[in-house]
Structure 1
Amino acid sequence: MSELLPVAGDDGSVRASHAERDAIVERLNEAAAEGRLDFGELEERVERALSARTHGELAALTADLPARPGADPAKPLTLKGGMHGAKREGLWTVPARIVAHGGMGGVVLDFTAAECRLPEVAVEAEGGMGGVVLVVPEGWGVNTDGMEGGVKDKTATTPRLPGTPLIRVSGKPGMAGVVVRHPKRRELRRSKRRAELTQG
C-alpha cells in the first residue's frame, strides 16, 4: 500500500501506528507543495489521516499520488538548509525526532499551527552558517541542556503548561547558532487565518 511498509497478510485491516499516520501527513503536505492537492483537499485528507485507524484507511488517502520509493515512516524528519534555506510551517504533524542542518540558508521549524500528539520531541540541531530557528507556541516546554552552547532560548521565562509537548534540543550551534522563540504577531495572525479557512 502506498507510503506504508508491507506487512505479511495485511488486507488493510491492520491497525495504524502514530508513525504511519505521521508519514501519510508528511506525504500529503509534500503533494500539496508539488501542486497535486489544493488547500481544501490537503486539510480534508490530513484530518482523515490523523483519525485513521487502519492501513486501509491511510492507503486510500495517497492512492492517487505517486509513491516515494523506499519511504519509511520510522525515519526522522530531516531538514537541510542548503544554499536557500528550508522551512516547515503551517499545518504539519510533528514526529518524535527532527534533524535540522542549518547549512548556508538556515532552517526554520515553526510549531505554531503544528499537530503534536507526543509528550516529548527530540530536535537535533546543527546551526551551520545559516542557523536554526525554532518557533514554539507559548505554554510548550523547551529543554536546551543538550546544546553545546550558542543557543538563545527566548522562551525560558515562560512556564510549561500541563499536557503540552516538551521540545528537547541538542546538537551544535555552528557559526549562526540556534534560536528558540515564541511566534511573532504576524505569525499568529497567519496561523489564525489558516485555522479560519480550515473551519470554513
Structure 2
Amino acid sequence: MPTEPRENPNLRATEADREAVVERLQEAAADGRLGFEELDERLGLALSATTHGELVPLTADLTPAVLPSTAKPLVLDGGSHGLSRSGRWQVPPHITVHGGSGGATVDFTETECVLSEVGVEAHGDKGGVTLVVPDSWAVDSDEVDPGFGGVTNRTTAGHLPGSPLIRLTGTGGSGGLYVRHPSGRQRRRQQRT
C-alpha cells in the first residue's frame, strides 16, 4: 500500500477512522502478521491519532501494494431473477457484474479485502447494478459511461488511508449504476452480528 494518503495527511481523523485502523490491526494480529507487543504499540498510536497522516503508517505494511495477478476475476450476472452478493466473501482484484433484467447488488460491507485497489466493471443493463461499500472505502466512478440509466455515486468523499479504492468502469445501460454506503438497517444488523 502506498504510504501517501489520497487526501491531505493533515486532515483530522474521525473516531470511525481510528476504529477502522484498530479493527485492521486486530485482524492482522489474529492472522499472525503482528505480535502482541507490536499490536499493543500500534493500538495505542491508533487510538491517540489526530490526523490521517498518523494513521497511515500503522497499517501501510499490512496491505499488499500490488494486486495478485493470478487471482481469478469474479463474474456476476443478475439474469432475469436478480442477484445479490453479500455477507463474508474474499474480494478478488477484478469483478465484472451485469444487472441483466433482474438487477444485481454487490455488498462489500462484510467482505475480506486485503487489496489496495479493486477493479469493478459494471453494466447496468435493464435491471441496474447497486454497489454497497464501507464508509472508509473510496469509489472512483469517473470512467463509467452513464448510458440511459445514469450513474449515482452517493459515497462520501472521505477515504481512510489504507482502505480499498474501487475503480468503477462500464456502463449504466438503461437500469443505471448506484453506489452507496450501508443503510441504517444494514449497520444495525452488522452491529448485532
Q: What TM-score bracket applies, with the shorter chain setting the length?
A: 0.5 to 0.7
Give the aligned partner of residue 193 of structure 1: 192
After TM superposition, give the deviation of residue 171 of structure 1 in Å.
0.2
Could you tell me the percent identity over the aligned residues? 52
Partner of residue 109, structure 2: 112
Counterpart residue number, 2:152: 152
SS of alignment partner, residue 95 of structure 1? coil
SS at match of 1:87: strand
Q: Once the 2 structures are TM-superposed, how far is the Cα of residue 89 of structure 1 from its aligned partner?
A: 0.5
* TM alignment of 1:1-200, pairs within 5 A: 74-149=71-146, 150-155=150-155, 157-194=156-193
Once residues 158 and 136 of structure 1 are traced to their aligned partners in structure 2, the CA distance between those partners, rounded to angstroms, is 13
Q: Give the distance between the partners of 2:106 and 2:171, measured in 1 at CA.
A: 16
Q: Show CA shifts across 1:11-39 (max 9, x none).
A: xxxxxxxxxxxxxxxxxxxxxxxxxxxxx
Deviation at 1:176, TM superposition (A): 1.0
The 8 Å contact of residues 138 and 158 in structure 1, kept in 2 or not, is answered as: no
- CA distance in 1 between partners of 2:72 and 2:92 (Å): 9
Q: Secondary structure at the match of 1:134?
A: strand
| Superposition deviation, residue 135 in structure 1 | 0.3
Which SS does the other structure have where 1:133 is aligned?
strand
Which structure 2 segments of 5+ residues have no match?
1-26, 33-69
Tell me how far 1:184 sits from its aligned partner.
Answer: 0.2
CA distance in 2: counterparts of 1:185 and 1:103, whole angstroms:
27
Q: Which runs of 5+ in 1 are unaligned?
A: 1-46, 53-72, 195-200
Shift in Å, 1:158: 2.9
Deviations 1:83-121 (A, max 9, x none): 111111011111100000000111101011111100000
| Contact 1:139/1:158 (<8 A) preserved | no
1:84 alignment partner AA: H
Aligned equivalents of 1:192, 1:84: Cα separation in 2 = 30
State the alpha-carbon separation in 1 of the partners of residues 101 and 187 from structure 2.
27
What code does the residue aligned with 1:135 have? Answer: V
User: How far off its partner does 1:159 sit?
Assistant: 1.0
Length-normalised TM-score, structure 2: 0.61
| Deviation (angstroms), 1:185 | 1.1
Give the Cα–Cα distance (whole angstroms) in 2 for the partners of residues 169 and 144 of structure 1.
Answer: 5
Paired AA for residue 137 in structure 1: P
Q: Give the number of equivalent residue pairs.
A: 125
* AA in 2 matched with 1:151: V
Contact (CA 8 Å) 1:103, 1:128: kept in 2 or not?
A: yes
Match of 2:66 in 1: none
Task: Look up the SS of the partner of 1:116 in the other structure.
Answer: coil
